[in-house]
Amino acid sequence: MLEAEWTEVEVKGRKEGEAVVSAIKLVQPKIRILHAAPPPEDAAAAQKKKEQPAQASGVVDLNELLHKITPLDVDHIDILDGQIAFVDTSRQERPELWLHDLQLSVENLTDRVRLTEGRPVLLTASATLARSGAFSLLITADPFEKGLTFSGRAAIVGLETAELYRFIEPATKMQAPEGTIDLFVEFDCRNGQLTGGVKPVLKNVKVRPDDKGFLSALKAWATDLAIKVFSDRVRDRNAVATVIPIKGTLTGPDVELWPAIFGVLRNAFVEGLTSGYAYLPPKTGQAPPAPGAQPSPSESHSTSPPAAP
C-alpha cells in the first residue's frame, strides 16, 4: 500500500516535436509505504527458494499516480522537501523509518526526448535517512532495452546504528548500540546481469550479544525477497575494510525496471550492513569471527575514515 499527499503540485507542458510532454514538480510530498514484513519463518522459507527466478513483487503503478495529476506523458519529475516513510504494518506498534529532506529529480522519462538527445533516464536524489544518515543517489537507466539496463551509485554517510535499532526494537526489545555506519554502493546491470559492490564502513560500533537477532530482524524486514542479490561472503575476510561484490540475474517477464532498481538498492544496503556487522575486524591479536559466530559483548571497533561521498 502506498499513500501520497502533497501541499503543492506544478505541471508544465512542453512541446517535443509533435507531442506535448509534461514536467511535474511536487512540493513537500509525504509518501508512506506500508509494508507488512513476512514472519521470520516465512522469510527463511523464502530464502530457500533461491533457485526460483527473480520476480518483482506487486508494484506501485506510477503511471496511474501521475495520470491523476496530468494526462500528458511525464518527462521530468522534481520533488522538493519530500518525506518517505516505510511503515511496518505487521506490528502493532507500526514502526516507521523515515527518509526526509528528500530532494529528487528524474529526467528524460519519455522516449522522444531521450532519443532526440541520446541520453538515458537520470535520477539524482539526496535525503536524510532517519535523523543522521546523509543519503545520496545517482542512477542512469534505459527502460527501453530488452533486458534490464541501469547503472547507479548510492551512499549513506553517518547513519547512527541506534536509529536502526529504534526501528527494530519494538519487536525485539534489543538495546541500541553505539556507533555509525557509512555504506557506499555501486552497481551496473546489463541486460539483466547485475554486478557491483557494497562498501560498509563502521565506526566506533559496539557489538552486543543480541546483534545476530537484530541482523535477522532487519534482514527479514528490509530485504526484498523478490530480488536476489548474492554477495561473496568470504570467511576470515575483513569486510569492513573492503568492497563486497554483489551479483545477480534480473530476468523474467514480471521483472520491471524501477522496482528492480529499488530492490537491488535495498538489498545491497542490507547486505552491506549485515556483512559489515558480521565481519567486524577483530581486536588486535584476535582471529576474525567465523560466519555465524557470536561476537563478544560490547566489543568496540573502528575502521578507517570513509571515502568521500
Partner 1 sequence: MTSRRRFGFTRIITLGVGLGLAGGCAHTHATPPPPAAVPPTKPERERAVETGLPISSTSHGILQDGAELRIQRRLQEKGFLNGDQTNGQLDPRTREALRKFQKHEGLPPTGLPSYETVRHLHLDLDSIFQTVSHPRERPSSSSS
Q: Please list every residue from 260 through 289 that binds partner 1, using CB under 8 A.
A: 262-263
Window contacting partner 1 (CB under 8 A); options: 42-50, 188-196, 267-275, 291-299: 188-196
Site residues for partner 1, 207-236, by CB under 8 A, read 224, 226
Window contacting partner 1 (CB under 8 A); options: 169-177, 187-195, 202-210, 278-286: 187-195
Per-residue x/- mask for partner 1, residues 4 to 43, rule CB under 8 A? xxxxxxxxxxxx---xxx-----------x-x--------
Per-residue x/- mask for partner 1, residues 75 to 104, rule CB under 8 A? -x-xxx----------------------xx
Q: Kindly tell me which residue out of 177, 196, 272, 289 binds partner 1, with binding defined by CB under 8 A.
A: 196
Output the smallest distance, CB 17 to partner 1, in A. Answer: 9
Alpha-carbon distances of 154 from 100, 106, 136, 205, rounded to whole Å: 16, 15, 6, 22
Closest CA to 94 of 221, 204, 273, 208: 221
Output the smallest distance, CB 298 to partner 1, in A. Answer: 28
Whether the CB-CB separation of 107 and 54 falls below 8 Å is answered with no
Q: How far apart are CA 173 and CA 242, in angstroms?
A: 32
Long-range contacts of 123-127 (CB under 8 A, 24+ apart): 125/79, 126/101, 126/102, 127/82, 127/84, 127/99, 127/100, 127/101, 127/102, 127/103
Output the smallest distance, CB 256 to partner 1, in A. Answer: 5
First to last CA, the chain: 33
- Nearer residue to partner 1 within complex by CB, 33 or 176: 33
- Nearer residue to partner 1 within complex by CB, 115 or 209: 115
Output the smallest distance, CB 237 to partner 1, in A. Answer: 9
- Nearer residue to partner 1 within complex by CB, 99 or 168: 99
- Nearer residue to partner 1 within complex by CB, 42 or 300: 42
Site residues for partner 1, 37-56, by CB under 8 A, read 56
Site residues for partner 1, 115-144, by CB under 8 A, read 115-122, 124-126, 136, 138, 140-144
213 grid coordinates? 537477532
Output the smallest distance, CB 306 to partner 1, in A. Answer: 9
88, 80, 58, 262: CA torsion to nearest 10 = -90
Output the smallest distance, CB 19 to partner 1, in A. Answer: 6
Q: How far apart are CA 128 and CA 136, in angstroms?
A: 9
- Nearer residue to partner 1 within complex by CB, 140 or 216: 140
**Burial grade of 57 (CB within 10 A; 0-12, 13-18, 19 or more):** exposed
CB environment 116-126: b (16+ within 10 A), e (fewer): eeeebbebebb
Whether the CB-CB separation of 107 and 84 falls below 8 Å is answered with no
What sections of 185-288 are H helices per DSSP?
A: 211-222, 257-278
134 grid coordinates? 546523509
- Total of residues contacting partner 1 (CB under 8 A): 99
